[in-house]
Amino acid sequence: MIRSFVAVLALLVSVQMASAQRLVAASSDPQVSINSTFAGEEITLFGNIEKEFDADADAVTNNYHIVIAVRGPTSKRVARRKTNQFGVWLNGEEVAFNNFPSFFHLISNLPIEQVADSEELSVNGLAFDSAPFLQPEGSIEKVGEFSRELIRLMKEQDLYKLVDHGVTFHSNTFYSARIDLPAHVPNGNYIAITHLFQDGKLVAKKAQRFSVKTVGFERFLSVSAKNYSFYYGLICVLLAIFTGWLSGVAFRR
């Protein structure tokens, strides 16, 4: 009975210590607009580490580490292997992944392997190959091989990136970080989750959302091509014919 009481007391103390800190965070731009001149954008995340209202005055220390995970809209992604069939390179084996993030940046104040061990990072979704993001369809015999190649391709497009020393502490508790969005960043809703680590353990986290959206005439074209594909294609054909006829008349003169 005494052992059970001690175990419960220890659990309560650990929970209280883990919740002794809280994050207050904000972003510089809740909405990113894409137009014809869009060449990428930089968003700044900043925040402060504060003690809980009922915590001791010395609950906040200076041995903190921050890892920010920025994820974009999810979609179904298919990784395919090219095979040489009778001298022609064709798609062969493939593995489809459901709910795969189209954008995934990890930003930390130190090399991420120095913040926490790989198991702790993976459990909290702070690895590109974390289980929550690898939901293969059908056979999973070659999931590891295909997922590595898919992640490699996403990295080559700067859609997946690991940024060490991307978080800067301006004091013991105040921090900021910059998120670089490439020119081909996908449209949709994004979530940036700030993870606060202390002694290799997650003690707090805070989620912020922002959106990336095409605006203006570009958005009109995008929506028209997607929702009214037949009429959009017909107008494009008629416009091409008219442009060709007009050019012929102009050069004839």
Q: 168: domain range?
A: 13-72+102-214
Whether 185 and 125 share a structural domain: yes
Output the domain CATH number for residue 167: 2.60.40.3880
Q: Is residue 253 part of a domain?
A: no
What are 98-113's pLDDT values in tens digits? 889 999 999 999 999 9
Those residues whose C-beta lies under 8 Å from the C-beta of residue 133, and which sit 6 or more positions away, are: 97, 99, 100, 101, 104, 125
Using DSSP's 3-state secondary structure scheme, residue 60 falls into: coil
Whether 106 and 227 share a structural domain: no
What are 34-53's pLDDT values in tens digits? 776 778 888 899 899 887 65
pLDDT at 113: 92
Whether 62 and 40 share a structural domain: yes
Q: Is residue 17 part of a domain?
A: yes
Whether 232 and 182 share a structural domain: no
pLDDT at 196: 93
Whether 24 and 121 share a structural domain: yes
Whether 133 and 18 share a structural domain: yes
Whether 62 and 183 share a structural domain: yes
pLDDT at 227: 67
Q: Is residue 1 part of a domain?
A: no
For the full predicted model, state whether its pTM sits above 0.95: no
Average pLDDT rounded to a whole number, residues 196-218: 84
pLDDT at 216: 58
Whether 133 and 183 share a structural domain: yes
Distance of CA 195 to the CA centre of its chain: 14
Question: Residue 181: in which H helix or E strand, if any?
Answer: strand 174-181
CA atoms within 13 A on the CB side of 176: 8
Average pLDDT rounded to a whole number, residues 211-222: 66
pLDDT-derived band at 7, boundaries 50, 70, 90: very low
Average pLDDT rounded to a whole number, residues 15-37: 70
Write the DSSP symbol of residue 249. Answer: H
Residue with more model confidence, 95 or 221: 95
Give the integer Cα–Cα distance in Å for 103 and 28: 19
Whether 200 and 226 share a structural domain: no
pLDDT at 20: 58
pLDDT at 22: 76
Whether 142 and 32 share a structural domain: yes
Average pLDDT rounded to a whole number, residues 63-75: 92
Average pLDDT rounded to a whole number, residues 200-223: 77
Q: Is residue 232 part of a domain?
A: yes
Residue with more model confidence, 7 or 251: 251
pLDDT at 110: 92
Q: Is the pLDDT of residue 198 over 50?
A: yes
Q: What is the helix, strand, coil percentage profile of the chain, to 5? A: 30, 40, 30
Mean pLDDT of the chain: 79
Residue with more model confidence, 163 or 229: 163
Q: Is residue 77 part of a domain?
A: no
What are 140-176's pLDDT values in tens digits? 677 888 888 899 999 999 999 999 999 999 988 899 9
Q: Is residue 19 part of a domain?
A: yes
Whether 188 and 209 share a structural domain: yes
Count of structural domains within the chain: 2
End-to-end CA distance of the chain: 103
Average pLDDT rounded to a whole number, residues 46-62: 69
Q: Is residue 8 part of a domain?
A: no
Q: Are 92 and 83 in contact (CB under 8 A)?
A: yes
Give the integer Cα–Cα distance in Å for 150 and 136: 12
Residue 141 has phi, psi (to 5 degrees) of -65, -35
pLDDT at 56: 57
Using DSSP's 3-state secondary structure scheme, residue 198 falls into: strand
Using DSSP's 3-state secondary structure scheme, residue 153 falls into: helix
pLDDT at 103: 95
Q: Is residue 79 part of a domain?
A: no
Count of beta carbons in the 10 Å neighbourhood of residue 30: 11
Whether 137 and 194 share a structural domain: yes
